[in-house]
Structure 1
Amino acid sequence: MSCGVKVLFVLLVLAFAGTSCQKENTRGTSVTFSKSVGGDIYFQPEEKDGYEKVVPDSLGNLVLKIELKEPGYYRYVSTKQFFYSVYLTPGSRVEIVENEDGVFFKGDHAAENAFLAENPFVGEAEEGVEKYSAEWVSANWQGLERMVGKLRESGLPREFIQLQELKYRFGVYKQLLEGPALMAMFMNRTVRLPDDYYDFLKDLKFDDPQITRVPKWFQVMVGAFERMEKEGMLEVSLEHFMEVYGKRIEDEKVRSLFLVNLLDLTLQKGYSDQFPAYVMSVRRLITDSVAIAQLPRIEARYREALEANQMIVRGMSAPEFKAVDVNGKEYSSADFKGKVQVLDFWFTGCVPCRAEMPYMEKLADELEGQPIVFVAMSLDSGNELLATWRQMVKDKKGNEYHLNVPDGFKSALAKSYLIRGVPRVVVIDKEGKIVDAYAKRPSDPKLKMQLEQLIERL
């Protein structure tokens, strides 16, 4: 019996939507927790970030009733802060036992869950091997195939083997796609990737209907398509990118649910003038009945977003601003009149903001000499944060202006743009009209395409 994999309790909130379930088609699943050691335990769907504490019911029992429509995975976090992947199916009865000797599984799927506890593939290589190097990547692919081979020879039910193999593979895809960026964001460390690092994407297919049961499947697929764009493996299209993505997905169910989730994610990120065009471009590709049933709800949300953002839609006059640089020199909207403006709102405590900064700086350098200005708009306020901001930008010498908006998130400018979270990119045309109040991030090649199209029309 393995003690599992130690996890760091970092509570994250990510804006990825899950697929909905029709309650009439679900079956009750029961999970009972038996523990003889003190401490809190947690249990939640594996695709969900954060931790949900298990608390006794009115009779003092630790029992959860879960309505499941199809097989899937949950995460058990033990009193010692180790986590275990738990396989559940509709109508199953599972017991998780924790004592001084560790964590054990009884009831339905005890063999499957014991296998998962003993075989957590986390993507590692021998000590001393540089992460994301060619040697590291090779070791991980080999490790994956060994794990898949062991799974196939386990004698466990076929449905579980097929789903768990997908889960192992998606786990590797996720680490390869997200790992380098996470190192840059949280460890301030840039890694040099092998030339063929992303070659696995060339032959990557999404043709198995069980994909949607894999935790974080949607997140992985979005990351894969966005990386394909950046690597020149996929057409970059400003207006039809969802259709481009959809045509790469072979399975009807996966394609339909992916596109519905992508439309939902677009609304979570903020209002988009292009949303009706996005829906029109992919409607014919959404053919699964469960996905089709979600479209009215999504379109209703768009109408609500349109109403909430009616003062900053395309063609409206952009709110005027005043901001200062590190030397106290004041700039205003009028200083950039006659040029396309790219306003990048951020603050020093925002890790994703800092991760995007090199991309914006590169974009500003690439479009140097064009009638366009890039302005990094810091929303830091208070002496301590302003001091941090000044220290961060005082030596920057690129083609981007670095300004601070007085009063930050409480400023009239932030309120006018309905800025509640960052990074947030706003594009304004040469006449001071809003082009896009929720533009793509600079790491997305579609932002550069949008700006180049604007410049061509000048």
Structure 2
Amino acid sequence: MAMKRKLLSLLLLFLSVSAFSATISGSRIGANEKSSGFFVEAFSTKGRVLYKTVKFDEKGKFTLDFPTSEALIYWIDNFPVYVLPNQNLDIILPERKTGAFLIGGPADQKATSPAMLVESNMKMNGKSEIDNLLINEIHVAWADLTKEKKETLSIKDIDQQYENEVKLINKSKEPGLVSTANFYNDMRYMELKLQYLRSHPSIKVDKNYFNILDKISLNNPAVNSLKAIGLRSLVTNYYTFSKVSQGADIKEDDLADNGSVGKMELLIKKVNNERLINEQLSQIIIYHLSINGWDTDLDKIMLAATEKTTDPAVKQNLNDLREKYSKVSKNALAPDFSMPDASGKMVSLNDFKGKIVAIDVWATWCIPCMHSLPYFLKLRDKYKDNPNVAFVSISTDNAKSKDKWLNFLKSKNMNGIDLHAGDEKSSSFEKAYNITGIPRYILIDQQGKIIEDHAPQASEPGFEKLIETALKSK
């Protein structure tokens, strides 16, 4: 009896697992077992639930079986396909061809370009494409509109495209799909309206132009079906379109800033979608810290973000970042460092006690650094006779590139305080000061406290102004 119950339990378990599964099979035109495979991704409230590389067999066919109890959008080779549990789909991926083009030199000297899709759409065997490929149809239709119209695109064209997609969506009888498809259509509509404003900055629109904002919610369940890049684009476009609707200039730096404090506040105040909070809010904060460092305004945001975050790993990371960056922020005691100069002599921050220390963190391979470095050197020369300020250039070139750094110093006649952070003898300068990008400028006062850990670039007037202010307060 016990054995029968055990067998029955195993049977029920097997049936419960197999009862909720989606099988996607198909082929790619012109593919075989030597053809490159493709990625398949799927997302839900938990984030990415499927990430797999699918290979072709000798006939260019493939099969993917994924157990799931919910309808999902599968991003198959970047094509969104709506799939219900227990569905068996047979799809045909468009052909990819590798072209060849001249890269200069003799006519027979050629290089191959990356594989490109021959068509922009996929097909399906045996089922109506109005359901499973509806989301993809929306993507393709909006993309085609921008390609076809280009410079002649008008607001009327955008409105007409939106209505065309609404009519197409209404042909579907699947409620969940209709809701998701409407969200995608609304999202693309807003995106193209925003693009139109960017390309026509002088045009005046009335308040009705922004009515689509009333239909779009960042808490819509369909948000969870987006890829990570789609989430980031959605938040940026929604924030920008919303601010412009309130009278903001579309060219404002805040609207183009990936680490915008305004975006953080938007997510904290208006969004309850866990995936957006756990993924996007933390990414915006990380970007802000890497570019701007820590400030007191961010402290309140970090506390609110940590409280709202539900993923333990993300929550811990935010706490770690808060501790890490707040230690090297305005008015904090600057961490000491010790590293060699061009002659090999070790130089430390303590050597500059009682002086304002202006630091330029750079590298020979960094193009933006090369643009700003001459301004720093010009200032260093300007203040060379001032005993109250020291200009220190710190190269992050690694140990293998030390000779390149030394040769660069000679070629530019740099004979001031020039240090090498990539040397094995150096302290962990980059880690201590959270150097995540260069050029990076740091100003330290006479008491060894940080004036600015992310100071303006030396090419900007604000850099020298901070030095002058510090000198006057001595």
Alignment of 1:93-108 (within 5 A): 93=87, 95-98=90-93, 104-106=122-124, 107=127, 108=131
SS of 2:168's equivalent in the other structure is coil
Shift of 1:97: 1.6
The letter of the residue matching 1:278 is L
Candidates 114, 132, 139, aligned match of 1:116: 139
Match of 1:209 among 206, 217, 233: 217
**Equivalent position to 2:80, from 83, 86, 105:** 86
Aligned-partner Cα distance in 2 for 1:389–1:122:
54
Q: What is the aligned length?
A: 376
Task: Give the drift of 1:423.
Answer: 3.1
Question: 3-state DSSP class of the match of 1:43?
Answer: strand
Aligned to 2:232: 218
Please name the residue that 1:150 is paired with: 161
Shift, 1:54, TM fit: 1.9
Q: TM-score, normalised by structure 2?
A: 0.52
**Alpha-carbon distance in 1 for matches of 2:152, 2:269:** 25
Q: For residue 442 of structure 2, what is the amino acid of its counterpart? A: V
What letter is aligned with 2:308?
A: I
Q: What is aligned with 1:184?
A: none
Counterpart residue number, 2:104: none
- Deviation of 1:164 after TM superposition, in Å, equals 3.2
CA separation in 1, counterparts of 2:451 and 2:420?
20
- Contact 2:363–2:369 under 8 Å retained in 1: no
Change (3 A) 1:360 1:442: farther
Is 1:347 aligned to 2:355, yes or no?
no
Structure 1 partner of 2:270: 252
Q: CA deviation at 1:319?
A: 2.0
3-state SS of the aligned residue for 2:336? coil
Question: Is 1:376–1:403's contact at 8 Å kept on the other side of the alignment?
Answer: yes
Report the Cα distance in structure 2 between the residues aligned to 1:52 and 1:437, rounded to whole angstroms.
45
SS in 2 for 1:116: helix
| One-letter amino acid of the counterpart of residue 160, structure 2 | G
Deviations, residues 127-183 of structure 1 (Å, cap 9, x unaligned): xxxxxxxxxxxx458278636633431432264244234236547869999xxxxxx
Deviation of the 1:359 alpha carbon: 6.7
| Number of the residue aligned with 1:135 | none
CA RMSD between the two structures: 6.4
Structure 1 residues 35 and 166, CA, compared in 2 at 3 Å: closer, same or farther? Answer: same
Deviation at 1:209, TM superposition (A): 1.0
After TM superposition, the structure 1 = structure 2 runs for residues 243-282 of structure 1, keeping only pairs within 5 Å, are 244-245=262-263, 252-253=270-271, 261-267=280-286, 274=294, 278=298, 280-281=300-301
Separation (CA, whole Å) in 1 of partners of 2:358 and 2:145: 40
CA distance in 1, matches of 2:268, 2:291: 29
Shift of 1:316: 3.8
Deviations 1:419-440 (A, max 9, x none): 6853374635214645389748
In the TM superposition, residue 32 of structure 1 has moved relative to its aligned partner by 1.6
Are 2:361 and 2:394, in contact at CA under 8 Å, matched by a contact in 1?
yes
What is residue 7 of structure 1 aligned with on the other side? none
AA of the residue aligned to 2:93: E
Higher Rg of the two aligned structures:
2
Query: Is it true that 1:167 corresponds to 2:188 in the alignment?
Result: yes
Distance across 1 between alignment mates of 2:274 and 2:23: 31
Among 422, 426, 434, which residue is 2:437 paired with?
Answer: 422
Greater fraction helix: 2
CA contact (8 A) 1:319 1:413 kept: no
After the TM superposition, which residues 223-372 of structure 1 pair with which residues of structure 2 at under 5 Å, given as runs? Answer: 242=261, 244-245=262-263, 252-253=270-271, 261-267=280-286, 274=294, 278=298, 280-281=300-301, 292-294=308-310, 298-305=314-321, 315-322=332-339, 324=341, 333=349, 337-341=353-357, 343-349=359-365, 354-355=367-368, 358=371
Can you list the C-alpha shifts for 1:156-214, whole angstroms capped at 9, x where unaligned? Answer: 2264244234236547869999xxxxxxxxxxxxxxxx9949999x9989762158555
Q: Deviations over 1:235-255 (max 9, x none)?
A: 9xxxx973x445668982289
Q: TM-score, normalised by structure 1?
A: 0.54
Are 2:54 and 1:54 equivalent residues in the alignment? yes
Paired residue type of 1:430: D
Q: What's the offset of the Cα at 1:374?
A: 6.5
What CA distance in whole angstroms lies between the structure 2 residues aligned with 1:174 and 1:341?
Answer: 44
Whether the 8 Å CA contact 2:398–2:422 is kept in 1: the answer is yes
Residue 322 of structure 1 deviates from its aligned partner by 3.8
CA distance in 2, matches of 1:449, 1:195: 37
**Which shifted more, 447-456 or 164-173?**
447-456
Find the aligned partners of 1:412 and 1:197 in 2 and give their Cα distance. Answer: 53
Instruction: Report deviation, 1:296.
Output: 6.3
* 2:362–2:395 contact (8 Å) kept in structure 1: yes
Higher relative contact order (CA 8 A, sep 6+): 1
Letter paired with 1:43:
F
Tell whether 2:46 aligns with 1:34: no
The aligned residue for residue 183 of structure 1 is none
Q: Structure 1's 316 and 364: CA in aligned 2 closer, same or farther, altered over 3 A?
A: same
Q: Is the counterpart of residue 379 in structure 1 residue 380 in structure 2?
A: no
